[in-house]
Structure 1
Amino acid sequence: MTNIDKASHPDSALFSELPSADLASRIADQVLQAIGDGRLIPGQKVAEAQLAREMGTSRAPVREALRLLESQGLIVSHPRRGFFVHSYDADELDDIYDLRECLELHAAEAAVARITDADVDRLAAQVELLKRLAQDGQMQEQVTQDYEFHRMLCALGDNMRVVRLFDQIATQLRAGIALLGRNYDDPWEIAQSHDVLIDALRQKDAARLRSELKEHLEEARFQVVALFRNDNG
């Protein structure tokens, strides 16, 4: 486990200073983002003193923020050792993918009933962005924007509780992928695999969308969990 050591990165702080209002939730948001984009990796210690110093606050709201993230399963605490980013094993990632599939299939069914042509155009534009990122070799940004596509789809179901739960699941899965250090498949193939979802949405074909989305998610689940087992077996 690696402690966050500012001395080893003197020119770049992990976190930015925050205003005083609603500090705990703002701190939690920054830590959540750092976990999601791989700046904080599973098993890494999260030093309260460093967070407080970089964010320009006391340690009390930092501790409150970390307790909040602990309640969401993203941070763990150990007596006399401090807080750490939660580490995942293959079985846990498989469970998270299972929950993601249930959530997205439900959201997609709701989305088909209310989706507009403009909504589909926005989703199609997001797929084109994924393809450009694949061509440019921007793996980490492609992962981020891939989850944004699925978040957009969930949001079209018009249930913000579903979206918030998706955000939590996505952060956990992105942390696992960051630990792998690579995509589970060819980036171009990943981007193109969204085309069938766009086609089903344009046709407002709920049955086809469910089938294609289920296959899309299960392929990602199979590949990521298999790689994780191989790397950590």
Structure 2
Amino acid sequence: MNATFTKSTDEPHLLDDVVIDNRMLSEQVATHLFRQLVNGRLRGGQRINEAELARTLGISRNPIREAIRKLEERGLLVSSPRRGTFVRSFTKRDMADIFSFRTVVEGFAIRQALPRMTDDDHAGLKEIVQRMADAANAGHEMELVEADIAFHQRVCELSGNSQTLRAFMNIRAEVQMSITLVEHRFESLEAAAVDHWPIVEAIATRDVKKAVKALEEHIQDSWQRISAAYPDN
């Protein structure tokens, strides 16, 4: 059975008219919500109204619920019993804490990973960045963000230290949200993707100091981009 998204004159930012299989509906709704979040149409603390979304998109609430569940798993939405689902909200101080902790954890991960990293490991990191570039060229924001976080997680995995990886996974949802917000601060998706190549190139030198410096500069640049546009609170 097929379902159709239709444009509404009240909502100029809806997806283009498209007929898709029901199995794809939840993913398309998730992409729709993701783009609204990235573009600032959905803001931190804003409630997601399932009934209103279903009416606006002209579909049942089942794919809406599935899409919301997927975005909860990615750390972008949070549910509160008897209150509903809301966009994840962080203060500027929260974000500063996330980025400073990332610098410590990922810098330590690079120091541990580089001496034990094989050519295949390095090729794997290059492949992830290429996935980012391909997603950016195709205009697929969600795929870009997912590849971005996969890159940073892989660095932690390559450290071979279970505590390092655990520390990263404990803040993975927060990292996901911060990456989502940062990508939109670049001039283009392509610029966000290529921002990772200096890390890969530094790792290729096998120089630990260069690799750590490249990673820390990347994280610091991300923080500067988000900090400049983040409200003080």
TM-score (norm 2): 0.67
- Shift of the 113–84 alpha-carbon distance from structure 1 to 2, 3 Å rule, reads same
Question: How big is the shift at 1:98?
Answer: 0.3
Instruction: Give 1:163's match in structure 2, choosing from 162, 165, 172.
Output: 165
- Shift of the 203–90 alpha-carbon distance from structure 1 to 2, 3 Å rule, reads same
Identity of aligned residues (%): 24
Aligned residue for 2:109?
Answer: 107
Which consecutive residues of structure 1, in runs of 5 or more, have no partner in the other structure?
17-29, 50-80
Aligned residue for 2:51?
Answer: 7
Aligned residue for 1:183?
Answer: 184
Native 8 Å contact 2:109 2:155 kept in 1:
yes
Which consecutive residues of structure 2, in runs of 5 or more, have no partner in the other structure?
1-44, 55-60
Aligned residue for 2:151?
Answer: 149
| Pairs within 5 Å for 1:1-233 | 2-3=46-47, 5-8=49-52, 9=54, 10-15=61-66, 34=72, 36=74, 38=76, 40=77, 46-48=79-81, 87-176=89-178, 178=180, 180=181, 183-185=184-186, 186-229=188-231
Cα distance between partner residues in 2 of 1:181 and 1:195 = 17
Q: Secondary structure at the match of 2:116?
A: coil
Q: Secondary structure at the match of 1:14?
A: helix
Give the number of the structure with larger relative contact order, counting CA–CA contacts within 8 Å between residues 6 or more apart: 1
TM-score (norm 1): 0.67
Report Cα offsets for 1:43-73 as digits up to 9, x if no partner.
Answer: x6x2547xxxxxxxxxxxxxxxxxxxxxxxx
- Counterpart of 1:91 in structure 2: which amino acid? R
Native 8 Å contact 1:177 1:224 kept in 2:
no
Report Cα offsets for 1:144-187 as digits up to 9, x if no partner.
Answer: 21011010011100122222221232311333555x59612132
RMSD: 2.9
- Equivalent pairs counted in the alignment come to 181
Cα distance between partner residues in 1 of 2:208 and 2:177 = 31
Cα distance between partner residues in 2 of 1:200 and 1:105 = 13
Native 8 Å contact 2:132 2:193 kept in 1:
yes
- Counterpart of 1:156 in structure 2: which amino acid? L
Native 8 Å contact 1:139 1:187 kept in 2:
yes
- Counterpart of 1:36 in structure 2: which amino acid? R
- Shift of the 225–32 alpha-carbon distance from structure 1 to 2, 3 Å rule, reads farther
- Counterpart of 2:177 in structure 1: which amino acid? A
